[in-house]
Every structure is written in C-alpha cells, then in structure tokens.
Chain A
C-alpha cells in the first residue's frame, strides 16, 4: 500500500474543517503507549485507510477511560476521567466509537451512559466483521493462512461481560485458516489474568500464574497463532508463550493485525 498517504486525522482537525467523521477510533492507553499494542493500532488504522472509512482519533486529547481505577475501587477517579472524557466527546458531537480495547469498549458503552455519555460503541472485531459483511474487506484466497491453525482467546470484557463471542470468530473465519477452540472458550473462557486492574499489580500468592494456565491451554490446541482482541490479553499471552519458550513457533496476534497481514498491509 502506498504508505505515505496514510491519514490519521484528529477530531480537532476535522472540527476545524467543519467535518464530522463516521466513527471515532478510541485508541486506548495500551494502543497509544504499549510498544506491542501500538502495532495493533497501526494495523487497524491501515485497514481504515484502505477501506476508506472516514474516521478520526482524539490524539492527545484522549485520556484513560477510568476502567482500571473503577475496578480497583477508585470510583472518584473513574468518574473524574469519565466526566472529562464525556465533555470532550460531546464537545465534538461524537456519535459512534470503535475501539480495539475491550476494557475501553465496555466502559464507554455500558458505564458512560449513567454519567450522561451516550454513544454507539463497537469493538474493532465487530467493526471488522461489518466491513467483511459489506464486502469492503475481502481477504484474497484466505490471505495465505490456509492450512494454519488459529485459536481465539475470548477476552472476559468482550465475551462474558458483553456477550460478543461470534464477531471475532467470524473475522478469523474469513482468513480461511483452521479455527481451533481451546478447552475453555466462549462463556466458559478462561481469563488471561489481567482484568480487574490486575494488569497493574503483582498477582496474589498462589501456585501458578493465570496467564501460564491459559497459555498452556492455548498451546494444547496445536495452533501456531493465538488470536486475541485485547491489549491486556495480548501482553499476558505473549508473556506466557515466552515463558514456555514457544515464541519461535507460536505467535500472539490481534485480529486486526491478522486481517492487515492478509491484506498485505504490513
């Protein structure tokens, strides 16, 4: 793809031109700062560019949704974050939001309304599925994934928290790879260990780390790609794969990266 033309418009730029994007891409803290997840952000932006979706980001105006603060018990901090974010979002008249982070997704979608922030929020797996259904993303001959085994790790905040189980699987099916399920999947999926603000502290004493338990299960499927749709899951599973010294044979990839790869965008 002609790389120099990649556009990442901000809401502020759009507003100054008097324009309104179809959708705001909420990048999230991990997507903005985490080196690994920045790749997912970029992959998704490339897809948006390729398809010609009129989108924008908040750029430096974006701040933490407050999810980790709230789950840890700091309701004050959560509401401070939420209300200032709502002011910014409403200031730009945002209607529709897409995000690659299930924690941002859950909070924006389910928890902002109680504080006056009402938006249509979709997870990027749902957005990608829409694009595939509309024929805007068409993975050519399975995008070189034929014969490979992929397993999808359900993020708790996407799955059990919001009942989104099929969209990411539909997206992966378009890759024409063999989708294999782990022993615990969908409603019975096993957490990566990072939710509920666990990402930001050491685990309590136990006899195993949750991410190791989950990684073992993922490796048991024999898949060469562990697909996820969440920055926390990605970190936890990548660490797990490293711990098991399997990083040369097993990759942890976000669904957006897989689509971008199949589309020759990376």
Chain B
C-alpha cells in the first residue's frame, strides 16, 4: 500500500518536473531571443540591489497597506517552502512527518509559525480579492487588463486560499488522529490554528480521518506542483523573475539613454572625426526596435517579471490624462509577443510595433521615468518605448510632422526652434541695453 503511494508520488513529481523544466527552457529561450547587452559589471552593487529590492521588497513600501499584506504572503511563501520539503521527503520515502522526530519541540514551534503564516496568507488574499473586485482600485483596471489578466490575478488568490485551507485541514485531522490509539500517529504537540478546526472533523471515524488527512495532503502537494507550473504562464512568475530582474537591472542614472555605437561609427565618419573604426561596419540588421526580438534580453526578461500591478501606469502622466499609453501594457505586449515568436518563430508577418503597440502610444511618452521609478521590481518600460521610437524615426522616417520640423531646425539652425543661430547671443546685448534704460 505504502509503495503504491510512493510510486504515485514519484510519478506526480516526475510529471510536474517535466512540465516545469520544459516551460523554464521555453522562457529562457524566449528571453535569449533578445539582443545582447552586457550586465556582467558591478556585481556587488547588483547583488545589493537584488537583496534590497527583490528579497527586501524595498520598493513595495511606498504604499504601506498593500506592502504589508504582500509581505505576509511573501514570507508565508518563503517559509511554507520548508514544509514542502518535508512533504517531498515524506512522499518519496513513505514516511509521515519525518522532521517531527529529529526536531522535537522545535517542530511544534515551526508548525505553529507555518500555520500562523497560512492564516496570514488567507487574510491577505481575501483583502486583495476585495480590493480587486469590490473596491475596484483603479490600478487594476485599464485597457490591457482584459479577461485573462483579470482572471489570472483572481485565480491565484483563490488557489492560495484553498492551498492554505488544505494545510489547515490536514493538520486538524492529523491532530485528532494523534489522539486515536488505533491510528498510532506521530505526536506533534498542539498546532493552535488548525486546532480550531477540530470540531469540524471530530465526528469522523479513524478511517474517515485518515482518508481526509491523506486527501488534504495530496491536494496540497499536487496543488503546489500545479501552482509551480501555472506560475510560469502567469504574471505570478514575478515571484522568481524578480530576483534576476533586479540583479540585471540598469544601474545607471535614469536620465541616461544608451548610446547606439553602430551610429557612432557612421557619425564619426561623416564628421571626419578621428577614431572612426577602420574595420568594415558590422552588419546592422535594424536601427531601433520593431519587433520583440530587436529588444535586448533584459527588456524581454523584464516582460516576464512584470506583475501587472499597474504602479507604473498609475504614475504615468500620459496615462492619467487619458492618453492611450500605458507602460504596463507595453510590458504585457512585449511578453505576449515574445511568447508568440517563441511558438511561431516570428514569421507571421506581425510585429510588436504596429500589431501590439501603436505609434500613438509611444509618441505620448514624456520620458519622465515615473514608470521606472514606480516599478517594484525595477522594470524599465521606457527603454522599450525609446527603442521603438528609434525604429520609427530612423527606419521608417514616420515621426509626427512637428518632430520632423524640430529635427530640421536642429540640423539647419542648431536649435529645435526656428531662430537664426546668429540670434543666439542676443540676450547678452539685451542685458546691457535693458540695464541702461
């Protein structure tokens, strides 16, 4: 009998592992479709930023209430993983609560902490469900928050609640079984939170209890595996991606736009400035970005790390004044598109710019960096917007007419406005005449 359940467990584990590995390979492959960018420098600074922002949740604390509730879920998640370890060992070896013996009283304390966190997670999830569906916090709506993103957000909250109830049910029935001499269960000491559920199950026969306990156990562990796979298709991937994402994030000042070295060489040649490289120019496939594969891998990794929390969009001046631009949508579109390219190879005649993101959206950006500042996992939607703009201007020459006039003013008058360069220093004369008057 025991062997049977061990075999079943190995099977479940293998299937889950297979799908998980496949999905991880897919996502990694998709991210690597992006262009190269070097982020191997400043390792200690990167580590620090990862520890503070991802592990320490630093940027979440701009909003105290969601930050606190999120923290409960986050700590609950970290700690409950330890319990999952016990589940896996028990499942594989066919033991029951293998940590109970060696840990002794510490086990009781640990379990009570787990249970407290389980309750905290349930509490936070319920509040989050209310915020999303009843209080209708603005941030959670918007044109990009269509059926799936909405459902995705709610699903995970409900799943987490159910998984936590499974743990509590399991512990409650287990505690009753410990009092039944005929069951001979490992003694764990009192688990205070699940103990409150005992009256619900007290009437069951020993067999009934064993079955309930086992169902809860299996439900919980299968739920965890399913959750792990589901997460890779969901915005909840941020629970893993937040770490590499904050590690590889741009560390330069936000105002700095990256230099296009491929342009530098041409400009040097045009101006006859020394230092233009004499080697034949490397094959430049495209200036700026038209499709998701023209972006760099950090942009693509960003898109998988996006939590769809909308903090960026909420702070975006263009969005808040009713323009179409939403930085969250930029991230979600990028992710959807690279996912699609991963499947179709990208020869579908579609592209990120045009089929997903319109010029109207990117043209509305003031490059104010509010979105970058707001993102709790250091995502940079502005970087994508600016690369798309580069494509529009340099490859398509289809910038808004008034921008083209600005360009030609700079070219001919060396100022974005139409003033003769000889007037540039007139203010100094004005200064003197003004003063004499």
Chain A residues in the interface with B (C-beta under 8 A): 3-4, 6, 8, 10, 27, 29, 31-34, 38, 41-42, 45, 57, 59-60, 62-64, 66, 68-77, 79-81, 83-84, 87, 106, 110-111, 114-116, 156-157, 160-163, 187-191, 193-210, 213-214
Contacts and interface: CB of A to CB of B under 8 A. Distances in A.
B253 A110 contact: yes
B86 interface: no
What DSSP secondary structure best describes chain B's contact surface?
Answer: helix
A60 B390 contact: no
B303 to A, nearest CB: 21
Nearest to A157: B255
A76 B271 CA distance: 12
B389 A72 contact: yes
Interface residues of B, number: 75
Given A32-B425, A33-B424, A187-B373, A198 B402 contact: no
Nearest to B369: A160
A57 to B, nearest CB: 8
Interface string B241-285: 000000000001111110110011011101101010000000000
Nearest to B315: A188
Interface of B: 62, 252-257, 259-260, 263-264, 266-268, 270-271, 273, 275, 287-288, 315, 317-318, 320-325, 360, 363-370, 372-373, 386, 389-394, 399-400, 402-403, 405-407, 410-411, 414-417, 419, 421-428, 430-432, 434-436
A59 B425 contact: yes
B369 A161 contact: yes
Nearest to A81: B410
Contact of B317 (A33, A59, A191, A201): A191
B386 A201 contact: no
B98 to A, nearest CB: 49
Given A75-B263, A83-B273, A210-B366, A33 B423 contact: yes
A78 to B, nearest CB: 8
A124 to B, nearest CB: 15
B415 A63 contact: yes
A184 B411 CA distance: 37
Given A64-B415, A80-B270, A191-B366, A203 B410 contact: no
A41 B427 contact: yes
A218 B114 CA distance: 49
Given A33-B415, A72-B407, A197-B367, 11 more contacts: A29-B416, A69-B410, A73-B389, A74-B393, A77-B411, A162-B253, A188-B62, A196-B365, A197-B403, A200-B402, A201-B363
B253 A163 contact: yes
A208 B432 contact: no
A80 B273 CA distance: 11
A29 B417 CA distance: 8
Contacts of A190: 317, 370
A214 B370 CA distance: 14
B431 A63 contact: no
Contacts of B407: 69, 72, 74, 77
A62 B264 contact: no
B364 A203 contact: yes
A121 to B, nearest CB: 11
